[in-house]
Copies of this chain bind each other. A is one copy, B any other.
Amino acid sequence: MTPNKELQEQRMRGYFKDATREILKGEGLKALSVRSVAERAGYSFATMYNYFRDLNELIFLCVNDFMEECETLVNEAGTEMEPGRDRLKVRVKAYISYFTQYPGIFELFFVEKMNDIGSKHPTARTIYEFSDRLFGEDVAALTGKLPDTEKINRDILGNLRHSVTGMLLFYNNRLQPGDYREFIAIALRQTELCLAPAYA
């Protein structure tokens, strides 16, 4: 019987990745350490270095998983609705809800200071374009009949990306505004404002 090294290694990596995901979703980046991950995975902290270059590599691998999870959640919001203004708001709300429920994941996506290598990583661009992918269809539904659609789309999606990220940053990291309901209300209002170029 020849042992399946590939499978074994895959499993080991899985244990560490799962542990990392759980900690990030639960206690957040602050609680993440080589030792905390290893303990949850059931191995010594030194074992991690046999499967990953360092803690950062492990963190990077989680981003894709989280992105999928978030996308699924957003896609489950407003399924019965027509693409457009109202559905966009429902989807933005789901997006925001994900990142307020898991502030550690928000931190990981948008806040964590990476080294220069990390920022040049393709992941950085994928994150940058993440909201475009999620909200593109609804925006396109609003601008489809207009001339100069592409430019307007870029404007709107850009504004959405920046202002939603900004709001989440203030809410998650600075507790501004202090109340969640108020935060959501402002967020939806701002979402509407971002659509202005579609009605010009």
Q: Report which A residues bind B (CB closer than 8 A).
A: 30, 107, 110-114, 116, 119-120, 124-125, 127-128, 155, 158-159, 161-167, 169-170, 173-176, 186, 189-190, 193-194, 196-197, 200
Q: Which of chain B's residues have a CB closer than 8 A to the CB of A186? A: 158
- What copy number does this chain have within its complex? 2
Q: Which of chain B's residues have a CB closer than 8 A to the CB of A155? A: 189-190, 193
Q: Which of chain B's residues have a CB closer than 8 A to the CB of A107? A: 113
Known: A158-B190, A189-B155. A128 touches B173 (CB 8 A): no
- A188 CB to closest chain B CB, in angstroms? 12
- A50 CB to closest chain B CB, in angstroms? 28
Verify A169–B169 contact, CB threshold 8 A: yes
Cα-based distance from A170 to B119 in the complex (angstroms): 10
Q: Which of chain B's residues have a CB closer than 8 A to the CB of A113? A: 30, 107, 111, 173
